[in-house]
Amino acid sequence: MDDLKLKIRTIPDYPKPGIQFRDITSLLADPQAFNDVMDRFVKRYQDEQIDLVVGIESRGFILGAPLALRLGKGFIPVRKEGKLPGPTYGVDYDLEYGTDRVEVHKDAIPPDSKVLMVDDLLATGGTIGGSSRLIEKAGGIIVGYAFLIELVDLKGRNNLDHPIFSLVTFEGE
């Protein structure tokens, strides 16, 4: 996994002082590295019982859509409030300072669909936790979470109750 870690650029003090932002655009710009990410996710999930792949706005779309295609599954976007044109379910979730809201179309998740949730990064688990509640509200059954990056020190996995697969971890950085 260190080869992938080397492809992820760290931007210090973004978006505010003290934050080490993990930027995946350098990895995405390398087609071999991006393909390697997809190969690793496919290898992990190809034998799982999954009906749909859900990507969390916005970098979860970049990873989730090609993964869904490779797995032969449908892709469903979870968007921030007001971005979807049809009737939606919505869930509010807590951020470090305040709240946010995510939405999904009401007709996107057939009842009892087995769902793999994908995002680029697991930090505190707030966004993926809110998105999980949303998918369950829509009738989906979460089978797992797939992340490109996990920031281990922030202990986001402690806030999630389904299997977690992370390709790259960062600790104490």
CB 37 within 8 A of CB 59: no
CA atoms within 13 A of residue 23's CA, in its CB half-sphere: 12
Catalytic residue among 22, 59, 103, 150: 59
The interaxial angle of helices 59-71 and 31-45, nearest 10 deg, is 60
Task: Look at residues 119, 158, 163 and name the one whose alpha carbon lies nearest to residue 143.
Answer: 163
End-to-end CA distance of the chain: 17
SS3 call for 67: helix
Is 9 one of the catalytic residues? no
Is 44 one of the catalytic residues? no
Catalytic residue among 70, 81, 96, 101: 96
CA separation, residue 100 to residues 49, 103, 130 (Å): 31, 10, 9
Which residues are known catalytic residues? 59, 96
